[in-house]
A = this chain, B = another copy of it.
Amino acid sequence: MTAGIRHDDLRRRNRGLVIAAVRRAGQPSRTEIASTTRLSHSTISAISADLIDEGILAEAKAGEHANARRGRPQVGLSLNPEAATVIVAVLSLNELSAATINYSGGLIAEESRTLATATISRDDLIAELVAMLCRLTAGMEGRARPLRIVLAIQGITDADARTMLWSPITPHKDVPFAEILERKLGIPTTVENDCNMMAVALRWRDPARYRADFIAILLSHGIGMGLVLKGNLFTGTRSSGGEFGHVIHRPDGALCRCGRRGCIEAYAGDYAIWRNAQGKSELSTPEDGVQPEDMKQLAERARAAEGPEREAYRKAGTAIGYGIGSLFALIDPAPIAFVGAGAAAFDLLEPAIRAAIAETAGGQHSDAIAFDTIPDELPLIRQGCAMRALTYVDQEIFADGYPASPLLQADIA
C-alpha cells in the first residue's frame, strides 16, 4: 500500500522540485522558483545554496539580465552543464544513432550508422550498439561518466522499460537491452518506445500546447502512438502500450503486417497506402521495401489528380480518423501531433480524418481538434530520450542530496 511520508522525503521532494523548476524555466531567479513551487523564500534560498555547493546549479553571470528594474537585481539560476552526462540512443529501421548529452541538455558528441536491422543477427545487433556507446563514452570518467542511458526503439518494451519485447524492424524478440548495457557499461539504462519519447519531447518543446493531454502519432511504415493523459505519459500496465496502429478498424478487413486483419496500420501504414494505390488486394502480403522516395512520389500523384493514389490516402485517413474517434470516446479530445515522413502527406489525409472523427462519439467538436505535423521524427525522439534521462538524474540522483552521491563527493575533496 501507499507509503507514508517521512521527514527526509520532504527535503528530497522539494530539492527535486527546485531542480525541475530550473530545468523548465531555464534561468529563473530564486524569487520565481519560490512562486512556482509555492515554497517560502527561505526554503528556496537554503535548497539552492546546497545545490550550488554541490555543483548541480550555477548562478548566472551578473551582466546577463537586461531588464534594469529598480531594486536588487534577480540572479538567474541555471543548470550546471558539467554536473552530469547522459547517453541517448535510437534504434530505428536500418539506422542506429547515439549521442552524449550534458546536464543542461547540450550535445557533447554523436554518432550514427546504417545497419541492416531486418537481417542482422541478434549478437551483432547488440555488439554494434555496445560498441557505439563504448566509443562515445571512451575517456569519460569521474564526474563526466554518464549517469543514465535511454534507448528508444520502434516497438514494444516491457513495463519496467528494460527489455524490447517486440519490434517491427527486427525479427529478434525479448532482447534485454537494459540488462546488457548495464553489464557492459555499468550505467543504469531504460528502453523506451519511440513514440512515447516523441510525446515527452513535445511537452518540453511547447508546454503551452502540449500540456496535460495530447497525442503524438507516428506515421511511417507502421503507425505508432504516444499518449499523455493528465500530465503523465500513458503506458500499458505490462508493456509500453499504446499500440494504436493495431486497434481494429474493420473486423476481418485488410491484412496487417502483424498477421491480423483490419488493424488501422493495415490501411494507414506506408505499405498499406502503397498497396492500395497499386490496386493490389487488401489481403496481399504487406511489402517491406516501400521507400520514403516511393511515398513521396505517391503523394505527388495523389495531389495531382483524383485516382487510386488519392483514394488510398483517403482510406488511410478514414482508418486513422475512426481510430482517433474511438480513442476520443474513451478519453476526451486533445491536440494531436502527426510525426514522421507520413506527416508530409497530411494534407491528403486530413479531410478523411476529420470526416471520420465527425462520425464518432468524440466528434462533436471535430472542427476544434488541433492537428500539428512534424515530418522529422528523429530529433524529436532524441530530445525525448534526453529529457527522460536528465529528469531521471534530477529526481532520482540529484534530489537525494549530497552524501548519497559518491561521484560528487570526490569533487569536494
Interface residues of A (CB under 8 A from B): 1-7, 10, 13-14, 17, 20-21, 24, 36-39, 43, 212-213, 227, 229-230, 236-239, 241-244, 246-252, 258, 260-261, 263, 318, 322, 325-327, 329-334, 356, 359-361
A360's nearest neighbour on chain B, judged by CB, is B248
A261 near B359: Cβ-Cβ < 8 Å: yes
B37 near A21: Cβ-Cβ < 8 Å: no
- Chain A to chain B contacts (Cβ below 8 Å), 28 pairs: A2-B37, A4-B13, A4-B38, A4-B43, A5-B10, A5-B13, A6-B39, A212-B237, A236-B330, A237-B332, A238-B332, A239-B332, A241-B330, A241-B331, A242-B330, A243-B329, A243-B361, A246-B360, A247-B330, A247-B361, A248-B325, A248-B359, A248-B361, A250-B250, A251-B356, A258-B361, A260-B360, A326-B326
- Copy tally for this chain in the complex stands at 2
Query: Beyond A5-B10, A213-B237: 18 further Cβ-contacts under 8 Å?
Result: A1-B36, A1-B37, A2-B20, A3-B37, A3-B38, A227-B330, A236-B330, A236-B332, A242-B330, A244-B330, A246-B361, A247-B329, A247-B361, A248-B325, A248-B361, A250-B250, A260-B360, A261-B359
Cβ of A155 to closest chain B Cβ, rounded Å:
13
Cβ of A108 to closest chain B Cβ, rounded Å:
29
The complex places the Cα of A386 from the Cα of B335 at a distance, in Å, of: 36
Contacts of A10 in B (CB 8 A): 5, 7, 10
Contacts of A229 in B (CB 8 A): 237
By Cβ-Cβ distance, the 4 closest A-B pairs, closest first, are A246-B361, A4-B39, A236-B332, A4-B37
Cβ of A407 to closest chain B Cβ, rounded Å:
27
A359 near B241: Cβ-Cβ < 8 Å: no
A12's nearest neighbour on chain B, judged by CB, is B5
Cβ of A141 to closest chain B Cβ, rounded Å:
35
User: Known contacts A237-B212, A251-B356: does B37 contact A246 (CB below 8 Å)?
Assistant: no
Cβ of A224 to closest chain B Cβ, rounded Å:
12
Contacts of A247 in B (CB 8 A): 326, 329-330, 361
Contacts of A333 in B (CB 8 A): 238
A260 near B361: Cβ-Cβ < 8 Å: yes
Cβ of A249 to closest chain B Cβ, rounded Å:
7
